[in-house]
C-alpha cells in the first residue's frame, strides 16, 4: 500500500458517503425506529451512523502522508539477488557472507555468517551539458540480509530460503565518478584572469561543464530500478519433490536419501546464491 492507495480509498469512501446521503434524502428520509415492525435501528438511522463512521475513517486516512504510508517490504534474499542480476540496467551483482567475528570468517563454511551482503553495480554513461563523453559514473549499492529467525518469519522451507532483505534499506557502498570540471570565465568577462573568482560575475552560472550528481540522484535511479524489477516466486514440483527459487533449489527426496546432499543443505542453511 502506498500513498496513491490511501488517496483512492478516500475518494471511494467519499463516493459511498454521497450515495448514503442520497439514500437518506430520497429513500429513507425519516426515522421509523418507533414503528412496531422495525427491529433495532431503522434504515434511516443505520445510514446516518454509517455516514458518521465513514467520515471518521476519512479523518484517520488523511493522517497518512507520503512519508508515513510506506510499509517495510521484505523479500527473500535469493529472489531479490536474482531479480537484480537479471535487470539490464545493472552492470553486475554479487553476494557474499559477512562475519562480525574475524575468527568465524576464517572458519567458513563451518561457521555460519552473521549476514549476507548483496551488492549491485550501476554504471551510467557520463556526458557534460555540451554532449561530450567524459567517462562513466559507477555506483555500488549494498543491502544486508537478515535471518528469518530474527524476524520470526515462516513460509518457505528454511533450507531453500532462510534470509530476507529489506529492499528499501540500502546504502551507497562506493562511487567512481569523473572529476568535476572547473568553471571558466567567459571570453568577454572583465574578470577573466587566472586568479579571478566568480563572485563579481555570472560566468559560473552559465558553466556547461560536468558536475557530479549528488547521492539523491543515484538513490532515485536505484528506486526506479527496484520498481521495475521482476521478483521471482518460489515454485514446487510435486513429482520431483523439488523447490526452486532463483538459482537455488532444494530436493526433499535427495535430502532424505543422500547423506552428502543432506549435509550440504544443512551447511548452506538456505543461503542466497554466492557463486
pLDDT value at residue 69: 46
d(CA 265, CA 242) in angstroms, rounded, equals 13
Res 195: pLDDT: 62
Distance CA 182, CA 193 (A): 14
Nearest to 186 by CA among 168, 201, 171: 201
Supply the pLDDT for residue 64: 61
Question: What parts of the chain have a pLDDT lower than 50?
Answer: 67-70
Residue 198, Cβ density class (10 Å: 0-12 exposed, 13-18 middle, ≥19 buried): middle
> Residue 271 in contact with residue 113, Cβ under 8 Å?
yes
pLDDT digits (tens, 9 = 90+) for 208-232: 778 889 999 999 999 999 989 999 9
pLDDT at 165: 94
Residues contacting residue 136 through CB under 8 Å, at least 6 positions apart: 123, 124, 125, 126, 176, 178
Closest by CA to 169, choosing from 68, 271, 51, 72, is 72
Which pLDDT value is given to residue 272?
96
Dihedral over Cα of 33, 39, 41, 44: its sign? negative
Amino acid at each position: 500500500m502506498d500513498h496513491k492507495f490511501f488517496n483512492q480509498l478516500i475518494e471511494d469512501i467519499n463516493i459511498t458517503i454521497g450515495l448514503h446521503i442520497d439514500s437518506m434524502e430520497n429513500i429513507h428520509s425519516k426515522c421509523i425506529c418507533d414503528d412496531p415492525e422495525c427491529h433495532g435501528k431503522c434504515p434511516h438511522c443505520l445510514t446516518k451512523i454509517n455516514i458518521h463512521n465513514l467520515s471518521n475513517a476519512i479523518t484517520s486516512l488523511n493522517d497518512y502522508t507520503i512519508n508515513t504510508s510506506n510499509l517495510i517490504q521484505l523479500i527473500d534474499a535469493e529472489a531479490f539477488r536474482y531479480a537484480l542480476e537479471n535487470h539490464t540496467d545493472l552492470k553486475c551483482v554479487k553476494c557474499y557472507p559477512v562475519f562480525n567475528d574475524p575468527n568465524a570468517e576464517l572458519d567458513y563454511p563451518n561457521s555460519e555468517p552473521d549476514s549476507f551482503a548483496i551488492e549491485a553495480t550501476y554504471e551510467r554513461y557520463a556526458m557534460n551539458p555540451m554532449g561530450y563523453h567524459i567517462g562513466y559514473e559507477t555506483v555500488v549499492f549494498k543491502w544486508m540480509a537478515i535471518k528469518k529467525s530474527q524476524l520470526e518469519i515462516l513460509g518457505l522451507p528454511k533450507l531453500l530460503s532462510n534470509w530476507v532483505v529489506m529492499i528499501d534499506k540500502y546504502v551507497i557502498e562506493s562511487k567512481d565518478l569523473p572529476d568535476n570540471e572547473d568553471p571558466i570565465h567567459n571570453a568577454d568577462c572583465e574578470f577573466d584572469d587566472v586568479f579571478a573568482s566568480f563572485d563579481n560575475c555570472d560566468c559560473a552560472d552559465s558553466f556547461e561543464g560536468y558536475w557530479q550528481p549528488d547521492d539523491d540522484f543515484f538513490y532515485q535511479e536505484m528506486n526506479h530500478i527496484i520498481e521495475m524489477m521482476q521478483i521471482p516466486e518460489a515454485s514446487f514440483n510435486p513429482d520431483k519433490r523439488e523447490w526452486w527459487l532463483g538459482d537455488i533449489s532444494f530436493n526433499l527426496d535427495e535430502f532424505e536419501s543422500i547423506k552428502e546432499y543432506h549435509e550440504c543443505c544443512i551447511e548452506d542453511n538456505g543461503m542466497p546464491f554466492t557463486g
